Amino acid sequence: MKYKELAERIFKAGNEAGMQDMEVYVSGSREFEVKITRSEIDGYKLADNSGLGFRGFYNGKIGYSYTEKISDDSIPYLVKGAIENAEINDTKDQDYIFEGSLKYTPVNNLNTELDGVTEKQKIDFAIEMEKKALEMDSRIKASQYCMLGTGAYSSELFNTKGLALADEGNFAYAILMVLAEENGVYSSGFDFIIDNDFSKFDTGKLAKKAVKNAIDLLDAKPVESGEYEIVLDGMASAGLLGAVSSIFSARAVHKNLSLLKGKLGEKVAAECVTLVDDPFYKGGTSTSSFDGEGVATKYKNIIEGGVLKTFLHNLKSASKDGVESTGNASRDSYKSTIGISPTNMYFKPGDKNLEGIMEKISKGLYLVDLDGLHSGFNPISGDFSLGAKGYLIENGKVARSVNQITVSGNFYEMLMNIEEFASELRFGMGGGIGSPPVRIKKLSVAGE
């Protein structure tokens, strides 16, 4: 633990200034990113970021401060800043410095083989991915977005109650979006992967999927307006879940920003729905043995068999509700205060593959892309009206491509109308939120 001795010196200075329980949180990250256009580097980023967050009690109130300069020179500034912040803190909620959990589940989310991938290999991968896509079909005219990135992160947490924790991990991602044109008609298609196992990254597979998506949509057209049975692609479903994920936070419940308030132990979804929060998911972007307050993380079913089992808690929200923290305290960075966030949250997959859950649909839609999640979706009411692209399903098979339609409904009602999940779990582009393809009894579609 690199910063333990520095933390002890900060605590000593805090005690001498009249502070009581204190905590030091140190986080660091390393980022690499390259963008390619026509086999040339169009953007390049290499960055190291680190900082130290300090919080502690002064006259019964908690105060925060932080610094990007992790050294003894910052100690007076940190202590002074936290005291000044505590003096103007007028919150009535109780804050906590945690003494530690009885047991922590060890996790290893650092893939040393990924750290061994050179910058040249990463650049060559992105160039090869774009090259394969452009050569795959003469109708592919350009790569709109071709990128490969990697990241590594670490955190250390210490407090005056004897807690000393450390965590680290890494990940990589690749994104490819291509533009197709035929007879003056244009369409885009994309694919991506996020994982910390670079052996899963395949230039040909990514190029093939992006190209297919773009080519398929060249002859897309709307369908008639009406109610359709829907299959949402895993990425589309993950995007929808991510946009509404705050409704599972106890903080949102306390602020009357979630319609799940008062529904613990009640049925809120179809029986086939189990929503998991898994901090131990291998290769996940939020995999960790402890949360932002040092509480041990734990695997949990937020919804199990359609029944709401728990909200996500930090220590403050758990105290309000008279329950234990679920280990979901979050920090956006060393600069931030304590919030609540899921770890790796996803709908539990089913047994059939995508084709298997389509088999019983006589006429429906398979939607692969939803537009307007930040403008056409109200996360409080659950109402959504979103542009969509995808495919018409007839007699259990994909018949043709579809665009220029709007799908609308309500997320809470949609949960009750889920019929089954496919087996292919996929996480969204930000990582952390995932879903397999999902079959929904009906949603309203506006087309022609």
Domain edges within the chain: 112-156+166-219, 226-242+349-446
What is the distance of C-alpha 434 from the center of its chain?
A: 8
Q: Is 80 exceeded by the pLDDT of residue 1?
A: no
Indicate the helix (H) or strand (E) that contains 150: strand 140-159
Q: Is 90 exceeded by the pLDDT of residue 374?
A: no
Output the furthest CA–CA distance in the chain (Å, rounded).
Answer: 76
Encode 19-58: b = buried (16+ Cβ within 10 Å), e = exposed: bebbbbbbbbbbebbbbbeeeeeeeeeeeeeebbbbbbbb
Spatial contact of 147 and 37, defined as CB atoms under 8 Å apart:
no
Residues with Cβ within 8 Å of residue 214, at least 6 apart in sequence = 139, 140, 178, 179, 180, 187, 188, 189
Spatial contact of 329 and 368, defined as CB atoms under 8 Å apart:
no
Other CB atoms closer than 10 Å to residue 199's CB: what's the count? Answer: 9
Strand partners, 61: 58
Confidence of residue 210 (pLDDT cuts 50, 70, 90): very high
Greater confidence, 379 or 33? 33
Q: Which residue, 107, 32, 95, is CA-closest to 58?
A: 95
**Mean pLDDT computed over 369-379:** 88
- Our CA angle for 446, 407, 380, nearest 5°, is 130
SS3 of 73-107? HHHHHHHHHHHHHHHCCCCCCCCCCCCCCCCCCCC
Residues with Cβ within 8 Å of residue 34, at least 6 apart in sequence = 41, 43, 44, 45, 119, 122, 123, 126, 147, 148, 149
The 10s digit of each residue's pLDDT in 46-95 is: 999 999 999 999 999 999 999 999 999 999 999 999 999 999 998 877 89
The per-residue pLDDT for 283 is 87
**Strand order through the sheet with 40-58:** 61-67, 40-58, 22-37, 140-159, 164-182, 185-195
Confidence of residue 223 (pLDDT cuts 50, 70, 90): very high
Residue showing tokens 């234990």: 324
**Mean pLDDT computed over 391-412:** 96
The per-residue pLDDT for 403 is 95
Rounded to 5 degrees, what are φ and ψ at 107? -130, 150
Confidence of residue 375 (pLDDT cuts 50, 70, 90): confident
Whole-number Å distance between alpha carbons of 291 and 280? 12
Q: Is 90 exceeded by the pLDDT of residue 429?
A: no
Give the number of C-alpha atoms closer than 13 A to the C-alpha of residue 247, restricted to the C-beta side.
23
Strand partners, 426: 435
Q: What is the pTM of this model?
A: 0.94
Beta strands, E only, 183-244: 185-195, 226-232
* Assigned CATH topology for domain 112-156+166-219: PmbA/TldD fold (3.30.2290)
The burial of 101, by beta-carbon neighbours within 10 Å (0-12 exposed, 13-18 middle, 19 or more buried), is given as buried
Alpha-carbon dihedral sign for residues 195, 275, 244, 320: negative
Q: Is 80 exceeded by the pLDDT of residue 420?
A: yes
Token output for 25: 């949180």
